[in-house]
Amino acid sequence: MGFPGAFALTLFVALSYPAHGFLQSNPFFNIDGAPQTELFFEEDVTEGTTPPAVVIERVVSFPVKNGHDLIELRNIGGQTANLVGWTLKDQAGNSQPLIFGEGDCEDVDSLAPTRSIVIKPKSESNPCGLDFGLSFRDEIFLEDDMGEIIASVAWDQSEQGTSIQRAHTGEYFIKQDELNVLGLLESLGNYTILLSVLEATGLNETLSAVSDPKYEGPKFPEPPPEIIDPQFPSWFGFQFNRSLLPPPPPPPPPPPPPKEGLPKRGPFTIFAPNDAAFQILLAGLAGPGNPPLPLDIFLTLPELEDILLYHMVPGAWSTDFLLNNTAIPTAKIAEIVPFADGAMTEGKIMIHDSCVDKPTPDPYECVQQIEFDKCNDPFMVSPLGAQWQGGYCQRTCQRCSCDLSSGVPCAEVLEADLRASNGIVHTLSRVMFPPPIFVKEIESFSPDDEAAGFGFEEETVTKDMLELKGPIGTVAPNSG
């Protein structure tokens, strides 16, 4: 698969999640009526080489009490799907089909790679919705503007409180929607090793907890305040010398770091390796040429709890919050980094488990290395110099990648947004490992050592070091 090229567009997405209606990228579906959340973000969408592939990912035809029929579509291709003129209809053919890009659905005209659309019944507050009801025995079709069937799904019998879910193989299965995350894993049948590990570590009891009724949705960290430097014209003769101004007030202290472990109440998001993923791990732990590590020995490993906590995120993180190249702290504190860029993953949602910052041993933070234009300097990217495979400031400098053609062993989300009463499950293709958490340590040196690189000997930071105009080893920022 070649690396795609050049086309990119920017989406400004304002998401609001009412109780009814058409939802573009529905982020938090909760059966027991927990509060919804709102999100506004700017996301760059780049195009891959594989054509768009819109599938019917989920159908609810017999909802729980006070619930609604719904159909969820997802684009698993590498390019944005143009939905103008596409129709969604049921087998009866006696109702008005939903037509994308026209009439009440004029604004619903495209679907970016990895993104989903949730469609609910039409109403006064939701004019772009289903004008037909779903039966416990039914069939629905998605057709393009030429009348060609793009996707379809049929079911003979559905029970109340279930949904029809698409597997990554393209087949469909019945999912129980009212189970908690632990019960959901048990019901699906292909997570037996994960369930054994949860029991061995005692984490299964925590995952049985109900959701906190005050939960308001995932929270992203606030961006740092922007520093404004007024740009006066060159002929302005009375510009004040800003070096004489009093320094700005210090920024507020950062919020306390999250505590390791799971909260006592949900919701919980589980990145769940299936049995096949654990079998690959057991073979790898045994070493080349040896039979897989026996499960009974594996279950005694002291590292298991740390590994499991890295697969769990407090809160309900649907794929709509797995924003491209945006780190998410896990219950192990260490972060996972999703990648959903069409040009990189071709419609797949990938999870990077070693995309972290190792700080440089100078007085400067990683964000300053960006300002100094140092992110791709040989010193910064050298695994040998940093004693870390990603070099210095890999995360902040955005040097991580899940490009399918690069061989980077990211984990793939095989089945996304498997909703439970107290959280969400995402099926993973492999077991992830929590990376180290690096702490900023400023090594000190004498002025004569600066030209030689990092030959630090003194035990305190010198005045000369703090007066440097750029990162150590570079003396000053690039001029352009």
In this predicted structure, the answer to whether residue 445 has a pLDDT above a threshold of 70 is no
Lowest mean pLDDT of 62-71, 197-206, 465-474, name the range: 465-474
- Inter-residue contact 65 to 33 (CB < 8 Å): no
Which of 9-18, 130-139, 205-214 shows the highest mean pLDDT? 205-214
pLDDT band at 11 (very low <50, low <70, confident <90, very high): very low
pLDDT band at 202 (very low <50, low <70, confident <90, very high): very high
In this prediction, residue 242 carries a pLDDT of 75
In this prediction, residue 204 carries a pLDDT of 94
465 half-sphere exposure, CB direction, 13 A CA radius: 23
In this predicted structure, the answer to whether residue 447 has a pLDDT above a threshold of 80 is no
In this prediction, residue 86 carries a pLDDT of 96
Count other C-beta atoms under 10 Å from residue 196's C-beta. 16
The percentage of residues in the chain with a pLDDT greater than 70, rounded to a whole number, is: 80
Amino acid at 170: G
Q: What is the DSSP string of 336-364?
A: EEEE--HHHHTT--EEESS------SSS-
Using CA atoms, how far residue 270 sits from 194, 216, 255, 425, in Å, is 11, 18, 25, 5
In this predicted structure, the answer to whether residue 193 has a pLDDT above a threshold of 80 is yes
In this prediction, residue 472 carries a pLDDT of 43
In this predicted structure, the answer to whether residue 147 has a pLDDT above a threshold of 90 is yes
Beta-bridged to residue 142, according to DSSP, are 88, 151
* Angle in degrees, CA 422, 426, 432, rounded to 5: 115
Burial letters 408-417, b for 16+ CB under 10 A, else e: bebbbbbbbb
| Cα–Cα distance, 457 to 1 (Å, whole number) | 50
Phi-psi region at 358: left, alpha or beta (left = phi > 0; alpha = psi -120 to 50):
beta
In this prediction, residue 39 carries a pLDDT of 42
Tell me the mean pLDDT in the region 408-431: 95
Which of 3-12, 28-37, 343-352, 403-412 shows the highest mean pLDDT? 343-352
Lowest mean pLDDT of 70-79, 386-395, 465-474, name the range: 465-474
* Tokens (6 digits) for 381: 């990217």
pTM for the model stands at 0.79
In this predicted structure, the answer to whether residue 6 has a pLDDT above a threshold of 70 is no
Using CA atoms, how far residue 153 sits from 61, 374, 471, in Å, is 12, 52, 58
In this predicted structure, the answer to whether residue 140 has a pLDDT above a threshold of 80 is yes
Task: Spell out the SS3 assignment of 119-144.
Answer: ECECCCCCCCCECCCCCCCEEEEEEC
- Inter-residue contact 183 to 423 (CB < 8 Å): no
pLDDT band at 54 (very low <50, low <70, confident <90, very high): very high
The percentage of residues in the chain with a pLDDT greater than 90, rounded to a whole number, is: 58
- Inter-residue contact 100 to 144 (CB < 8 Å): no
First to last CA, the chain: 36
In this prediction, residue 7 carries a pLDDT of 35
Q: What is the pLDDT of residues 248-296, one digit of tens each?
A: 777 677 677 778 899 999 999 999 999 999 999 999 999 999 999 999 9
In this predicted structure, the answer to whether residue 439 has a pLDDT above a threshold of 90 is no
Beta strands in 148-297 (DSSP E): 149-155, 162-166, 172-176, 268-273
In this predicted structure, the answer to whether residue 330 has a pLDDT above a threshold of 70 is yes
In this prediction, residue 448 carries a pLDDT of 52
Q: Where is 417: in which H helix or E strand?
A: strand 411-420
In this predicted structure, the answer to whether residue 17 has a pLDDT above a threshold of 50 is no
In this prediction, residue 141 carries a pLDDT of 94
In this prediction, residue 116 carries a pLDDT of 94
In this prediction, residue 51 carries a pLDDT of 95
In this prediction, residue 220 carries a pLDDT of 77
In this predicted structure, the answer to whether residue 343 has a pLDDT above a threshold of 60 is yes
The mean predicted confidence, pLDDT, of the chain is 82
Count other C-beta atoms under 10 Å from residue 427's C-beta. 22
